[in-house]
Amino acid sequence: KWLDKIKNPEAALVKKQQGYYNYLHGLMTMQDNMNESEKYFKKAVSLGLSMKHDLAMAKLNLAGIAFSKRRKQEAQK
């Protein structure tokens, strides 16, 4: 609910906040739509996250998505 209240995250949030916005969206959509979730996690990693463990979690989720889509080399990276 709270994430949906932000209509234009690029204008309303600074870069790191946009990273966490995409990270949280990725976590929320992980169960329902892996393709959309992958898009959000990639954007979060590219924007950057403040805490190393959040960045590691985003990369781990990306690896899991890539592995489930049979992209082993991408998952290992």
CA-based angle 57:51:47, to the nearest 5? 80
Single pTM value for the model: 0.79
Q: Determine the Cα–Cα distance for residues 55 and 48; give it in Å rounded to an integer.
A: 8
Residues in the chain: 77
Q: Band of the pLDDT at 7, cuts 50, 70, 90?
A: confident
Q: Determine the Cα–Cα distance for residues 8 and 76; give it in Å rounded to an integer.
A: 34
Q: What percent of the chain has pLDDT over 90?
A: 3
Taking a C-beta distance cutoff of 8 angstroms, is the pair 50, 16 a contact? yes
